[in-house]
Amino acid sequence: MSAPSDRQSGSSVQRLQGDLVAGLMVAVASVPSGLATAAMAGVNPVFGLYAATAAPAVGSLLTSAQMMQITTTSASALAAGQAIASYPSDQRAEALFLLVALSGIFLMLFGLLRAGRLLRYISFPVMTGFLSGVAAALVFDQSAQLVGYSPDAETTLGSFVELLLNIGDFSLQSTIVGLLGLAIIIGLSRTPLSSISALLALVIPTIIVVLWDPGDVRLVSDVSTIPQGLPPLGLPDITLLTPNLVISAFALAAVTGIQGAGISQSYANPDGSVVDPSRDMFAQGAANVAGSLVSGMPTGGSVGQTALNVSAGAKTRVAGVFHGLFMLMIILLVPDLVSLVPMPVLASVMIVAGYSAIRFHAMAFIWRTGGSGRWVLAVTFLATLLLSIPAAVSLGVVAAVVLYLYSSASDVRVRALEPRDDGEIHVVEAPEALPGRSITVLEIYGSLFFAAARTLREKLPEPTGAEHPVVVIRLRGNNQIGPTLIDILNDYAHELASAGGRLYLNGMDKQVSDRLERAKKLDLDEEVVLVPATDILGESTRDAVAAANDWLRHYREDGDDALSWPGSTTRGSGA
Amino acid sequence: MSTTGEQDARPRGRGVASGATGFARWRSDFLAGLINAVVSVPDGLASAALTGVNPVYGLYTSIVAPIAGSALVSAQLMQVATTSASALAAAQAIATYPADQRDAALFLLVLLTGAFLLLFGLLRFGRLVRYVSYAVMTGFLIGVAVVLILDQTAQLVGYSPEGANEVTQFVDLVRHIGAFSVRSIAIGGLALGVMVVLARTKLSSLSSLVALVVPTLLMFLLGWEGIQQVSDVSPIPRGLPALTVPDLTLITPSLLLAAFSLAAVIAVQGAGVSQSVENPDGSPVSPSRDMFAQGAANVAAGLFSGIPAGGSVGQTALNVSVGARSRWAGIFGGVWMLVIVLLIPGLVGQVPMTVLAALMIMAGIGAIDVREARSIWRTGGSARLAILVTFIATLLLSVPVAVAVGVGLTIVLFVVSSATDVTVRAVEMLDDGRFAEADPPETLQSERVTVLDVYGSLFFAGARTMRRALPRPDDATRPAVVLRLRGRTSVGATLIDELDDYADELAEVGGRLYLSGVDEDVMTQLRRAGKLELDTNVQVFPVDEVIGESTGAAVRAAEAWLGQRRADASN
């Protein structure tokens, strides 16, 4: 996480300059995305702009990831849209502000409870599938907007299929305007103007539409009128509170927290300070509470805006504060211009943003890695397109846990350790049946939790027919030792004992050996002998073998040799 | 299974099989079958009433299900009988049918449930039982036994408590001591006393029969009225069950779904029961085969006008406590039930419920494995939580829900412990050539090789935990890290991502990451993934048969590389 130190060089004036430019750029870019995400949630597009005044400023002051930009995001807009869809249209705006405030409170709570620690349970494939699914959903949804068609299907994927089946109903004028926007962004992406390509894609087609005045292109003013002046300040209307809204706010907070964590971990701080996902959750929560007070949309760490902030040369968290201030100036000075923006143009900006947020590289890498990650990725991605966002994440997490559980339960291997003439210890296949009057040293790979313990039992060599078989099992490094394993070891020890043999367990740490003793189930020092681990690798195995040799001496017949184990003068036998 | 019975935690039946003669065993099974059948009468009647159908269907079930089930089970002492859990589920499933079709729908449901259970057995779903940990299983079985005792205690004292669950019912029971029937307690207590006293005498094998007959006779001799009898639960109709062909036209998707979930309920409870009884002859128990056996029992019940049946905790405990020796006890139970229905329904109808309650209480007490519970409790940690929560859930919730709660809890605890229980250790060579493990340094040293061992699971959450435990490069230049991966057979995308991140950090300060002991499958996986910059930033050393060889090779390579870099720098 340490950044090159040269980024810290430069006077404070230079840093301020960098932050000023970056703040302006991000604010301008926030105009189209703010309008578009608000339109996506089905509310007045200006709410997106209002959110982008307070949220980035408040958020940036509090984040640990200094470059992170907290502004409107498509994921949170989609989730919010679902949540408020059931309210009558005249209450929808008020319900939205209440939802934003609640999700802000939840996020602050997550941060205080250090919920950032829970993020480790969201595996890389789940995170990738989810973020890419959100981005793909954005592209699909906005494609309909771009061609001026309103699909009726319920799911994102269904709507997209419906869209493709109804090409004849597309609005030609909308499509032309939208494609022009797309062409400008894509065309400029490889030129020096790439950083303002989104702005140009917004401005040029808007000017053309104003001059051309086609009848079939929806403008922002057709969706809603944009009020003049400062954002209206106000507390949310508590009377609209329903249990459903609380649940939606919780889900929205979870979505924001997860996405924000992905972002806060992907950009290093210029001053090298450590990133804390929990603190960033708190910051996003504060940003949402502030956003709610100025009639704003839900906000969260934005993939696109954060990337833009870094590439535009931001140096400190002050860039985010400038982002908010510039947005306020735009609203105060040029509000009428905003209402002239055609909706297909907003769609084109969002499509590009969405497309760039689909993690093709990561998805290809996960797919190639194979195994369970592949299925988890596919399930999460498809679920994001077919279900709600929280449902998709939960499904992905559950799928990952189930597959992990299954693989941990089946992936238990038993190997035998054998000293050979070269003075080294070899790891070989464990025998099917135990040899009599001799010592078999077994090494176990894999977890030994309850389900795996039962698998282990099936894989231990059988004492059938052997006389005085002795088994040494290494348990080094395995802490997941519970009653199921103890029961199974007890069973195995009985079998050995009834054949006149004995079980030695070695290499477990103090805690585990205490637990084995406390359970009072194993017949210690009769059927089972414990030889706890030492700091020296292989020492407890050697001690266990020595003890076993000593015990077995009474039963040896002529011609039986003691197992010679590499001694203290040779190299260790760790694993 | 060992023959050193006195050291085993569950010595039931062990050694007896070898000691007793063939005739003694037959006699034991014959008597056990009789007791089973008599106790099944009120159970069967009540279960059928619970389902909302003619109570005699419960008796028909108690004829065919134990015969078919016991003939096929691997857990020889397990009793396949009517259970209240399956009766309730069946009641819900057929409630939507009009009254004149309800019987036919029930038989069809039972048949389909049997078919699903047969399928579960053939698909070896018993393997799923491994996901039910020993602690959960023990907590569940003890919970069911306690429920049995609490229920039957109310029966014994002749009071019907009210309440939503076992605990509130018990509280209600205790608060109404005044409403207890003294005569009922006296008769039931006598039965209990007979069993306790005779258990230590030569008559122990007859103790339950004596406990059944003597108090019943005494009640008649004393002329005591007002004690609830079996015939008070429902009159026992005489007659034979008829073979019915199921009406397939009644199949609906929701009936199929109900049959599936009923089969799941029976399978879960049955798996618990089959694990709880060891075979007297020491043969292993197969939960899959027992699912199949319960399936066959249900198919038979469906064809002979029966209600659903499954492995019954109470009946199985009773079977064990009345001295059954083999699967014949169950088969005799079915035959005895046939005799009862045909010949002596009136006689069985006279048996006081309090005596049956006493039999069940003894069975329930026998089924509580205090030793196991204490052992698990002392083991501590998550096992303690698992057994406690499952036990309480069994008292408060339905059987499948309680098991689901226990399994869910253990899985969550397992995932959490896998995520947190990841330790990174530094391996250092001592002067005498041995290797010692120590806590890893916080930060890496410049131009030094650090060998690290990782213990614990490296699944997604574990991989992230490991990443945090790895020593940081910070201000070091050219640190080399050897990470031992012996014994890991698969790596996930999250681990690769974290390793890539670490390798990048090392590369940024001119260092390198060496992975040693890499399994062949893992090697292919790493190459296919194409994320790590193999052969430059990350060097991979395949696992060797000789322990430590791969790591040794990695350390030598790392030292050679550092030497080379130093030489380059000085030139």
ipTM of this model?
A: 0.80
Residue A541 · residue A507 · CB < 8 Å:
yes
Among chain A residues, the shortest Cα distance to B377 is held by A519
Residue from the list A366, A411, A484 with its beta carbon closest to the beta carbon of B133:
A484
Q: What is the DSSP string of A331-383?
A: HHH-HHHHHT-BHHHHHHHHHHHHHHHS-HHHHHHHHHH-THHHHHHHHHHHH
> What is the signed CA dihedral for B152, B153, B155, B157, rounded to 10 degrees?
160
Subunit contact A494:B455, Cβ cutoff 8 A: no
At residue B7, the pLDDT reads 36
Minimal C-alpha gap between B508 and chain A (Å) = 9
User: In angstroms, rounded to a whole number, what is the distance separating the alpha carbons of residues B158 and B179?
Assistant: 8
Tens-digit pLDDT profile for chain B (571 aa)? 333 333 333 333 333 444 456 788 888 899 899 988 988 888 888 888 778 888 889 889 999 999 999 999 999 999 999 987 788 888 888 888 888 888 899 999 999 999 999 999 999 998 888 888 889 888 988 888 898 888 889 888 988 888 888 888 889 998 988 888 888 999 999 999 998 898 788 777 778 788 888 888 998 898 888 888 888 877 777 777 778 888 888 888 888 988 998 998 898 888 888 887 888 887 888 999 999 999 999 999 999 999 999 998 888 988 988 888 899 999 999 999 999 888 887 777 888 888 888 888 888 888 888 888 999 998 888 889 999 999 999 888 877 788 889 989 999 998 888 888 888 999 988 887 788 888 999 899 888 999 999 988 888 888 888 988 999 888 888 999 999 998 888 788 889 988 998 998 899 888 999 999 998 888 988 888 888 888 788 999 999 888 888 998 999 999 999 988 888 877 6
- HSE (side-chain half, CA atoms, 13 Å) at A126: 25
User: In angstroms, rounded to a whole number, what is the distance separating the alpha carbons of residues B484 and B543?
Assistant: 10
Query: B81 φ, ψ to 5°?
Result: -145, 180
Residue from the list B130, B374, B525 with its beta carbon closest to the beta carbon of A409:
B130
Subunit contact A536:B435, Cβ cutoff 8 A: yes
At residue A108, the pLDDT reads 96
Per DSSP, the three-state class of B516 is strand
Residue A249 · residue A81 · CB < 8 Å:
no
At residue B111, the pLDDT reads 95
The model's pLDDT over A472-512, given as tens digits with 9 standing for 90+, comes to 999 888 877 888 899 889 989 998 998 999 999 999 888 88
Among chain B residues, the shortest Cα distance to A462 is held by B1
CB atoms within 10 A of CB A564: 10
Report the candidate in B367, B371, B373 with the shortest Cα–Cα distance to residue B314: B367
Residue B66 · residue B338 · CB < 8 Å:
no
Residue B366 · residue B242 · CB < 8 Å:
no
Residue A552 · residue A525 · CB < 8 Å:
no
Subunit contact A411:B134, Cβ cutoff 8 A: no
Tokens of A427: 């790891």
Strands A528-531 and A502-506: parallel
Sign of CA dihedral A486, A492, A496, A501: negative
Subunit contact B421:A479, Cβ cutoff 8 A: yes
CB atoms within 10 A of CB B165: 12
By the 10 Å C-beta count (0-12 exposed, 13-18 middle, 19+ buried), A299 is classed as buried
CB atoms within 10 A of CB B432: 11
User: In angstroms, rounded to a whole number, what is the distance separating the alpha carbons of residues A439 and A504?
Assistant: 10
Among chain A residues, the shortest Cα distance to B525 is held by A369
**Bridge partners, A425 (sequence order):** A419
Residue with tokens 């001059």: A211
Confidence of residue A6 (pLDDT cuts 50, 70, 90): very low
* pLDDT of A418 above 80: yes
- What Å distances lie between residue B517 and A10, A427, A513, B93, B103, CA to CA? 47, 12, 28, 56, 65
Query: Considering only CB atoms, which chain B residues are within 8 Å of A368?
Result: 528-530
CB atoms within 10 A of CB B229: 18
Query: A415 φ, ψ to 5°?
Result: -125, 155
A294: amino acid identity, one letter: V
Alpha-carbon Rg of chain A, whole angstroms? 32
- What Å distances lie between residue A575 and B434, B448, B546, CA to CA? 13, 22, 10
Query: Considering only CB atoms, which chain A residues are within 8 Å of B7?
Result: 494, 497, 523, 527
Minimal C-alpha gap between A367 and chain B (Å) = 8
At residue B20, the pLDDT reads 56
Among chain B residues, the shortest Cα distance to A457 is held by B130
Residue from the list A123, A368, A494 with its beta carbon closest to the beta carbon of B494:
A123
* pLDDT of A558 above 50: yes
Residue from the list A124, A371, A536 with its beta carbon closest to the beta carbon of B490:
A371
At residue B114, the pLDDT reads 96
Residue from the list A482, A535, A569 with its beta carbon closest to the beta carbon of B437:
A535
User: In angstroms, rounded to a whole number, what is the distance separating the alpha carbons of residues A106 and A9?
Assistant: 39
Residues of chain A by 3-state class (helix, strand, coil), percent to 5: 60, 10, 30
Query: Whole-prediction pTM value?
Result: 0.78
Subunit contact B379:A515, Cβ cutoff 8 A: yes
User: In angstroms, rounded to a whole number, what is the distance separating the alpha carbons of residues B432 and B422?
Assistant: 29
Query: A275 φ, ψ to 5°?
Result: -90, 140
Confidence of residue A37 (pLDDT cuts 50, 70, 90): confident
Tokens of A393: 């994440």
Subunit contact A365:B133, Cβ cutoff 8 A: no
Query: B136 φ, ψ to 5°?
Result: -65, -45
A–B interface: beta-carbon pairs under 8 A: 230
Query: Considering only CB atoms, which chain B residues are within 8 Å of A498?
Result: 2-4
Instruction: Find the angle CA(B132)-CA(B299)-CA(B402) to the nearest 5 degrees.
Output: 25
Q: At what angle are helices A172-188 and A343-357 packed, to 10 degrees?
A: 50
Minimal C-alpha gap between B453 and chain A (Å) = 8
Tokens of A164: 């493709």
Among chain B residues, the shortest Cα distance to A265 is held by B501
User: In angstroms, rounded to a whole number, what is the distance separating the alpha carbons of residues B281 and B13?
Assistant: 8
At residue A9, the pLDDT reads 47
Residue with tokens 């078989």: A469
The model's pLDDT over A58-94, given as tens digits with 9 standing for 90+, comes to 999 999 999 999 999 887 887 888 788 888 888 888 9
Subunit contact A527:B7, Cβ cutoff 8 A: yes
By the 10 Å C-beta count (0-12 exposed, 13-18 middle, 19+ buried), A189 is classed as middle
Minimal C-alpha gap between B30 and chain A (Å) = 32
What integer is the mean pLDDT of A103-119?
91
Residue A450 · residue B133 · CB < 8 Å:
yes
Tokens of B55: 């109570």
At residue B122, the pLDDT reads 95
At residue A1, the pLDDT reads 38
Run of H or E including A413: strand A413-419
Subunit contact A365:B459, Cβ cutoff 8 A: no
CB atoms within 10 A of CB B537: 18
Minimal C-alpha gap between B222 and chain A (Å) = 50
At residue A8, the pLDDT reads 47
Residue B169 · residue B150 · CB < 8 Å:
yes
Q: What is the DSSP string of B179-210?
A: G--HHHHHHHHHHHHHHHHHTTSGGGGGHHHH
At residue A224, the pLDDT reads 66
At residue A133, the pLDDT reads 86
At residue A3, the pLDDT reads 40
B538: amino acid identity, one letter: V
Report the candidate in B318, B286, B367, B324 with the shortest Cα–Cα distance to residue B16: B324
At residue B228, the pLDDT reads 84
Strands A70-72 and A299-301: antiparallel
Residue with tokens 């691997």: B74
Per DSSP, the three-state class of A429 is strand
Q: Which range in A191-200, A383-392, B217-226 is most confidently predicted, on average pLDDT?
A: B217-226
A385: amino acid identity, one letter: L
Tokens of A162: 């419906």
Query: Considering only CB atoms, which chain A residues are within 8 Å of B456?
Result: 477, 479
Minimal C-alpha gap between B297 and chain A (Å) = 28
* pLDDT of A4 above 60: no
Subunit contact B546:A413, Cβ cutoff 8 A: no
User: In angstroms, rounded to a whole number, what is the distance separating the alpha carbons of residues A198 and A175?
Assistant: 18
Tokens of B420: 């947190």
At residue A226, the pLDDT reads 67
Higher pLDDT: A176 or A264? It is A176
Residue from the list B432, B460, B525 with its beta carbon closest to the beta carbon of A369:
B525
Among chain A residues, the shortest Cα distance to B460 is held by A123
Instruction: Residue count of chain B, please give it.
Output: 571
Sign of CA dihedral B488, B494, B495, B500: positive
Q: No. of H helices and E strands in chain A?
A: 22, 8
Confidence of residue A195 (pLDDT cuts 50, 70, 90): low
Query: Considering only CB atoms, which chain B residues are within 8 Å of A365?
Result: 493, 496, 529-531
Beta strand segments in A48-162, E: 70-72
User: In angstroms, rounded to a whole number, what is the distance separating the alpha carbons of residues B178 and B561?
Assistant: 89
A154: amino acid identity, one letter: E
Q: What is the DSSP string of B287-315?
A: HHHHHHHHHHHHHHHHHTT----EE-HHH
Tokens of B76: 């020889």
Subunit contact B421:A445, Cβ cutoff 8 A: no
